[in-house]
Copies of this chain bind each other. A is one copy, B any other.
Amino acid sequence: MFAVTILGNNSALPAFDRHPTAQIITVDEHIFLVDCGEGTQSQMTKYKIRRSKINHIFISHLHGDHYFGLIGLITSMGLLGRLQELHLHAPAALKEMIDLQLKAADTQLPFPFYFHCLGDDGVIFRDNKVEVSCFKVFHRIECWGFLFKQVKPFRRINPEKAKLHAVPSSYFDKLKWGEHYVTKEGAIIENEWVTDPLPKAKSYAYSADTIYDERIAEKVFGTDVLYHEATYLKDLEERATKRFHCTAAQAARIAQKASVTRLLIGHFSSKYETLEGFEQEAREIFSNTDLALEGVTYRI
């Protein structure tokens, strides 16, 4: 299972029952939260995402529509008696705010809470299922995108062939990762003789809030699904640029340049009551585009 569930797809102001940005990335048993606008914990309740399952939270930047719901979520986790670790990956200034808010409430979190300050492009989390990297995007203030890549073997054991070549099962794990097997006698059993290819590991990029910048396409090149902001329609491209945001068409151009498979667009301005225009303008340039709709889970 590798999927993204949209909890909020609106920019700045909540409007037309659209909520500020928050997304759940599910990778097997991992449930990651990316951004956490006001009301995210209520959206989680609505869409049956259990707070207790989240161990890593990633915050792209410190505009309120991306993090004002965080302190409420964290303190709720405490009130619910959480004991397991929580890791927050975010711009440095958030730490002081959380500390101040906990101090003012005379509250201590009952669980170990680790703050990881975002500093350079690169891997910020990795285990045997998933690797998460951050990359700088181009907004009015410090802002980070996040790239989620499945970590999984790219070869599958062919049991009959493995038996035929007398490969001991203790070597199977290495075979799955592409290694050859060398017998005690020094003979090489090539990987391809005893394994079959698996579909390649998938990836999802969240490029946060950003002005149109083709360096984004390099950073997310070849991902399976790219989420890119699309705050305005093309008649307001000038306003988009002035505010370090993008139009739907610009998001589509990045998707095209990045050769991604599928584009999701969101972060719609509160000035738009309906969203058809976004889909239409993006699809003219990049046909495999979908609107990031609240409550919907998109498989990667």
Contacts and interface: CB of A to CB of B under 8 A. Distances in A.
Interface in A14-42: 14-15, 38-39, 41-42
Interface stretch (A63-71, A172-180, A280-288): A63-71
B94 A97 contact: no
Interface stretch (A73-81, A108-116, A125-133, A163-171): A73-81
Interface in A40-93: 41-42, 45, 62-64, 68-69, 71-72, 75-76, 79-80, 91, 93
B93 A13 contact: no
A79 B243 CA distance: 12
B68 A64 contact: no
Contacts of A15: 45
Interface residues of A, number: 34
Contacts of A140: 106
Contacts of A41: 14, 38
A123 interface: no
Contacts of A75: 64
Nearest to A101: B97
A188 interface: no
A71 B140 CA distance: 20
A62 B94 contact: no
Given A39-B42, A75-B64, A13 B100 contact: no
Contacts of A187: none
Given A68-B72, A97-B100, A105 B38 contact: no
A64 B105 contact: yes
Contact of A105 (B14, B39, B62, B71): B62
A47 B100 CA distance: 32
A182 interface: no
Interface in A184-243: none
Contacts of A13: 76, 79-80
Given A14-B41, A63-B105, A91-B104, 10 more contacts: A13-B76, A13-B80, A14-B42, A39-B39, A68-B68, A68-B71, A97-B104, A100-B100, A104-B141, A106-B141
12 contacts: A13-B80, A38-B39, A38-B68, A38-B69, A62-B101, A62-B105, A64-B101, A64-B105, A68-B71, A68-B72, A94-B104, A97-B100
